[in-house]
Amino acid sequence: MRPLNLAKWSKETGTKCLHCVDLIPPSEGFSDSVEEEIIQFLESRPGAFDLTGEIANGDAFIRYCFEHAEDAEAFHARFAPAAEKAISKRAT
């Protein structure tokens, strides 16, 4: 996974959601139940998150960014165990 430069990414995209969690899915992908739980988690926070992905160089990951730190922390705590790798960071 490429290093996080969230400040640059935030400036380029104009997002206000600076509390991010990058998840690398397992090689077989997330289970249907985990995907459904992720969707439910995000749908309960309309307008308070942003989502992007990267698949270049075989380093596929999904970046979930939240307006509120507690949402990012809760997301990381809930879904990091289902991922191959998870990184949580705040843009400065």
Other C-beta atoms closer than 10 Å to the C-beta of 84 total: 13
Number of domains the chain is built from = 1
- The alpha carbon dihedral of 50, 28, 5, 90 has a sign of positive
**Per residue of the chain (92 residues), what is the pLDDT tens digit?**
444 455 554 555 555 778 889 998 898 889 999 999 999 999 898 777 887 777 666 667 888 988 889 999 999 999 999 999 998 887 65
Looking up residue 68, the CATH number of its domain turns out to be 3.30.70
User: What amino acid occupies position 77?
Assistant: A
Write out the residue range of the structural domain in which residue 18 sits.
Answer: 6-90
pTM for the structure as a whole: 0.77
Is residue 1, in this structure, part of any structural domain at all?
no
Among 80, 35, 25, smallest CA distance to 55 is for 25
Q: What is the Cα Rg of the chain in Å?
A: 12
